[in-house]
Structure formats: C-alpha cells, structure tokens
C-alpha cells in the first residue's frame, strides 16, 4: 500500500481556522465545531481536512498529482476544510469535483470567513464576490440520449456560480443550458453539446442546425427555450451580455460577465462605438445591420438626456425591425428610458 502524504495536526487546525471552522462546500457553510453534551467543557467536532490533490495514488485517486512533492501534497495549500458529510462526498466522486473547483471553494470559504470576522454576518457576500472573484474552469459534454438536468445543475452549482454571480443569475444560466441543449438535440439534430465554464463566461457549443435565439426574442411564444432566453437577456442590466454566433458549422453561445465595457467590440462584430459627433448619424448602425440580430451600442462618454434624445430620434427614422438593440452607457435611468422608448424591446447595460 502506498504511503499517504497526510497533513500534520497543525496544518489541519490552520485549515479549520482559516475557514472559520465552517464547511467550505458551496451552499453548506455549517459550523464544524461546537459544545458537546458529554461535559461542560467537552467539544464536538464534525469537520475534516481534505486533500485537494489526493494524498496517495491508487484506485479512485483521480485527483492525485505525481508532479508535486510529498511536502506540497501535505501542505496547507493542498488542503480544504469540509464537514464530514461533504468531505466523504468529494473523496468518493473525484471525477465530478476537480482540483480547480476545490481551490475555488477554499478561496471563497476563506474570504467569507475573513469578511464575517471583519464586518459581521450582515454583509452581502455575493455583492462582494461578484466584482472580486472568478469562476473555476470546467467543461463537460452533455448526451442527447438522456439530458440530465441534475448533471447540468450540479456543474453550475459546483462552479460556485450562485455565490459569485448570484442565485437568480445561476438559475437563469441553468435553465438556458438545459433548454438550449434540448433544442440542439430534439430540433437541431445535434450529435453533441458542450458546456464550458471559464473565469468570466459560460460557453455552449453544439453542432446542430443554425439557431440564433435573438430571432425569437420579440415573439409571444412561451416555450421553455424562449422563456429561458428572455430571462437570460434580462441579465444585461447586471452587466452580462449574451452573444450567439455560427462558427465551423457549430452554434456558439456565450454568456459573459463584463468587467469592462470596452471588451465588447473585441467579443463580437455586432458592436459599435458611438462618439458624440455620431449621435445624429443614421449611418452608424448600417454596418452591423446585415448579419446581426443583436447590436451592442456602446457610448464612449457620459450620456445625458439631450444626447439620448438625439440618438433616439435617429433610431426612430430607421427600420430596425426584428433586431435587438442593447445600449451600453454611463447614463441615468431617464436617459436609458428615452433610448428604450425609441426601440421597444431593447435592452441596456448601465456602466
């Protein structure tokens, strides 16, 4: 039997302390230390220090990394603090729980403990995580023979998306992945569907028939796919964008959390930047109209109500039927309302 590179007692104690003696499993966070009924001084401990990369090679040790030393394997950097229940779960399913995911759990648990100690329990953790933390990398192929809702839900939950992007957002993404995968197999005759999670985005790829959900955004149809997509684009108000494209005979969908609006022209050809001198120029949108069903319109400087009216008047003179306009600006709610009224059904992202 191989020797295990186990943690020293001091390492275990440090892991527990850094997690605030709470389980690091997403959504758990229960205390792992408390009083025992055995005596007035006894304590009850229900936590365990778990290896991120397995302590020893062998059957089932898929997270074992032969390229790190024994000292590194037994170090605090390779440990995560969990309750007994979740500690056993991650050790018996090393395919589902990856090294990168566990490191992200640990990062969030320690940050949560630090914020709780510093500011108390009333802090909005998700609001803090949203701007400071990224998702772990993850990828899985979804089978068309039996689309497993729980497999998709578990992938979303294991990425800590609900903690980082918020529960409403993670639910909207989960619905979209399920509905888009069903559409790809049942209506698009796809042979595969891939879900990939990256630090600031979720990417969906299938080889089915050409399908762009922006075509259906203004329909009253209440099928699962259309409702899921409409809920998804509501996230624009929370600094997300949705991009649909066709590449190498694949449908490619990207749900992206924007850290900087200047990224948008780099992410999609369906984006234009509007300078002040272009506010009354009807040609500004023409170059994007031919192939784009959704056009991202980025205003480079602070937009006031009068500027918004100039651009709105230009929009009203043009025909943008069946095209979605997404306005991105540093502007007031009143200014955005002027733009939205000019093109019913449009969206906005406030900088």
> What's the token pair of residue 55?
């302590």
Inter-axis angle of helices 305-316 and 333-342, nearest 10: 10
What pLDDT does residue 314 have? 80
Q: In whole numbers, what is the pLDDT of the chain averaged over residues?
A: 88
**pLDDT greater than 60 at residue 210:** yes
pLDDT band at 222 (very low <50, low <70, confident <90, very high): confident
Which residue did the predictor score with more confidence, 22 or 349? 22
Which residue did the predictor score with more confidence, 16 or 350? 16
**Average pLDDT rounded to a whole number, residues 332-344:** 90
Triad 47, 33, 16: Cα angle to 5°: 55
**Average pLDDT rounded to a whole number, residues 47-58:** 90
Out of 60-64, 66-70, 249-253, least confident range? 60-64
What pLDDT does residue 1 have? 42
**Average pLDDT rounded to a whole number, residues 267-275:** 86
Out of 78-87, 182-191, 289-298, least confident range? 289-298
**Average pLDDT rounded to a whole number, residues 211-220:** 83
What pLDDT does residue 3 have? 78
Rounded-to-integer distance, Cα 193 and Cα 178, Å? 10
pLDDT band at 286 (very low <50, low <70, confident <90, very high): low
**Average pLDDT rounded to a whole number, residues 325-343:** 91
- The predicted model scores a pTM of 0.85
* Residues contacting residue 273 through CB under 8 Å, at least 6 positions apart: 265, 298, 299, 300
Contact between residue 195 and residue 254 where contact means Cβ atoms under 8 Å apart: no
pLDDT band at 237 (very low <50, low <70, confident <90, very high): confident
């Amino acid at each position: 039997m191989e020797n295990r590179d186990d943690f020293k007692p001091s390492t275990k104690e440090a892991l527990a302390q850094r997690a605030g003696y709470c389980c690091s499993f997403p959504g758990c966070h229960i205390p792992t230390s408390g009083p025992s009924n055995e005596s007035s001084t006894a304590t009850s401990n229900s936590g365990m220090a778990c290896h991120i990369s397995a302590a020893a090679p062998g059957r089932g040790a898929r997270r074992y990394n032969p390229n790190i030393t024994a000292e590194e394997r037994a170090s605090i950097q390779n440990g995560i603090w969990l309750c007994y229940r979740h500690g056993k779960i991650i050790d018996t399913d090393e395919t589902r729980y990856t090294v990168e995911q566990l490191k992200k759990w640990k990062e969030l648990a320690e940050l949560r403990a630090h914020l709780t100690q510093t500011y108390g329990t009333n802090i909005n953790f998700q609001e803090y995580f949203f701007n400071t933390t990224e998702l772990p990398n993850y990828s899985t192929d979804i089978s068309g023979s039996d689309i497993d809702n729980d497999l998709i839900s578990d992938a979303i939950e294991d990425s800590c998306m609900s903690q980082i992007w918020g529960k409403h957002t993670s639910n909207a993404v989960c619905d979209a992945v399920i509905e888009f995968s069903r559409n790809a197999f049942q209506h698009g005759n796809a042979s595969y569907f891939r879900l990939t999670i990256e630090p600031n985005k979720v990417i969906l790829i299938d080889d089915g028939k050409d399908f762009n959900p922006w075509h259906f955004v203004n329909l009253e149809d209440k099928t699962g796919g259309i409702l899921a997509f409409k809920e998804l684009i509501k996230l624009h108000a929370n600094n997300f964008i949705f991009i649909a494209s066709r590449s190498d005979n694949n449908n490619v969908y990207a749900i992206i959390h924007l850290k900087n609006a200047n990224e948008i022209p780099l992410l999609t050809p369906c984006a234009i930047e509007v300078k002040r001198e272009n506010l009354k120029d009807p040609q500004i949108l023409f170059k994007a109209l031919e192939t784009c069903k959704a056009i991202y319109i980025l205003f480079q400087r602070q937009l006031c109500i009068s500027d918004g009216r100039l651009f709105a008047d230009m929009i009203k003179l043009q025909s943008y039927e069946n095209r979605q306009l997404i306005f991105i600006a540093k502007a007031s709610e009143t200014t955005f309302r002027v733009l939205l009224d000019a093109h019913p059904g449009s969206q906005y992202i406030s900088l």
